[in-house]
Amino acid sequence: MKHTESDLRTLLEEYTHDPAGRQPVPHLKAIVRRGRRTRRVRRALGAGTALAVAATATVLLTGPLRTGQGEAAQPPALARIEAPPKLREEFPVVLGAERSTLSLIHSERFSTTGAARTVTFTPTSHFTGYEVVCGDPRAWIVISSPLKGGEDGGTSGRCEGGGGGHHDKLSVPSGWLKGPQSIKVWVFPADAPVVKVAEELGRCVPSGESTTCDEQAAGRALRNQDVLDRLSAEVGERPGEWAVGIYDSPSPGPATTADSSGRPSPANATTAEPPGTSDPGQTTPQTTPQTTP
């Protein structure tokens, strides 16, 4: 039998009324919560892709060195750890359907781990991004950056799992473009007792089906200031190569660079802090636009 368009319209209208008479209720809080989670995942994916590229580049660059020196003379794992990390020149940003790239505007290199470092730079837009790359991809990193509401957000976990993120107009603190801004970075050696310290301080909160303090939970625990202070005190300063890059919309001037003992430009300075002397007023990051790797 043939139907008419009118039949079709009537049927569609009738079938969209729940026979039980129920009406779906909007759960605004749940919707916004899912939206925030989506935004965090997108940012993490952007940072994760960046780190994957950096890690691949590191492995490729170290391969010929290992071949030339002979595996017996230098273990491959050690060669990878010693490789100087490379920062990429551009940082891809994906915001919904919009894709763009940020250019490297400032970078700093460090040759020791275990101490907090404050990296200061002058942003050129609301989309400032940052990324930490490590000579040893298994190193632990914590990045703390200010958010719009004044709280601290950031990333923590293994360096290989994603060590960066970026702001947008919704997350950037007020007055972002009015002057120099800074982020604080901790890098700890791969064998730092993160799990032990997190458990001792009762900061390890397993998620999902896990009941033990696994690496993911320990990585999240690193966002607590007391965990960072204890870990810095236990590990102390050790040799270890890592670098941090700041990315932003292209600015008129060239990118500035510095090393841990170098002379950064006045607008982009770095400050080394001994273990346990980082800002005691810093609170545990609760709201993070970037996710834990």
Partner 1 sequence: MDDGFAEYVAHRHLRLCRMAYLLTRDWGTAEDLVQTALAKAWVSWRRIEGNPDPYVYRIIVNTHASWWRRLWRGEVPVEALPETVDPNDQAAAADDRAVLWNAIGALSPRQRAVIVLHYFEGRTLTQVADIVGCSLGAVKSQLGRALTRLRVDPDIRTMNLEELQR
Q: Is 166 in the site for partner 1 (CB under 8 A)?
A: no
State the nearest-atom distance from the C-beta of 46 to partner 1, in Å.
13
Q: Is 2 in the site for partner 1 (CB under 8 A)?
A: yes
- By three-state DSSP, how is residue 73 classified? coil
- Residue 148 and residue 125: Cα distance in Å, rounded? 15
Q: How far is CA 231 from CA 192, 194, 244, in A?
A: 8, 7, 21
Residues within window 232-251 making contact with partner 1, judged by CB under 8 A: none
Residues within window 7-66 making contact with partner 1, judged by CB under 8 A: 7-9, 11-18, 22-28, 30-35, 37-39, 42
Instruction: Kindly tell me which of 13 and 209 has the beta carbon lying closer to partner 1.
Output: 13
Size, binding site for partner 1 by CB under 8 A: 40
Please pick, from the candidates 95, 190, 195, 201, the single residue that binds partner 1 as defined by CB under 8 A.
95
Please pick, from the candidates 52, 61, 77, 170, the single residue that binds partner 1 as defined by CB under 8 A.
170
State the nearest-atom distance from the C-beta of 164 to partner 1, in Å.
19
Instruction: Kindly tell me which of 150 and 280 has the beta carbon lying closer to partner 1.
Output: 150
Instruction: Kindly tell me which of 99 and 169 has the beta carbon lying closer to partner 1.
Output: 169
Stretch that binds partner 1, among 96-104, 137-145, 199-207, 258-266 (CB under 8 A): 96-104
Residue matched to tokens 């916004």: 32
Q: Is 174 in the site for partner 1 (CB under 8 A)?
A: no
Q: Is 150 in the site for partner 1 (CB under 8 A)?
A: no
- Asked if 203 and 224 count as a contact pair (C-beta separation under 8 A), the reply is yes
Q: Is 177 in the site for partner 1 (CB under 8 A)?
A: no
- By three-state DSSP, how is residue 45 classified? helix
For the chain, how far is it from start to end, CA to CA, in angstroms?
58
Chain centroid to Cα 115, Å, comes to 18
- Residue 92 and residue 181: Cα distance in Å, rounded? 21
State the nearest-atom distance from the C-beta of 29 to partner 1, in Å.
10
Instruction: Kindly tell me the sign of the dihedral angle through the C-alpha atoms of 56, 60, 62, 66.
Output: positive
Please return the burial class of 84, using the count of CB atoms within 10 Å of its CB with bins 0-12, 13-18 and 19+: middle
**Helix (H) or strand (E) segment spanning residue 33:** helix 28-69
Binding site for partner 1 (CB under 8 A): 1-9, 11-18, 22-28, 30-35, 37-39, 42, 95-98, 169-170
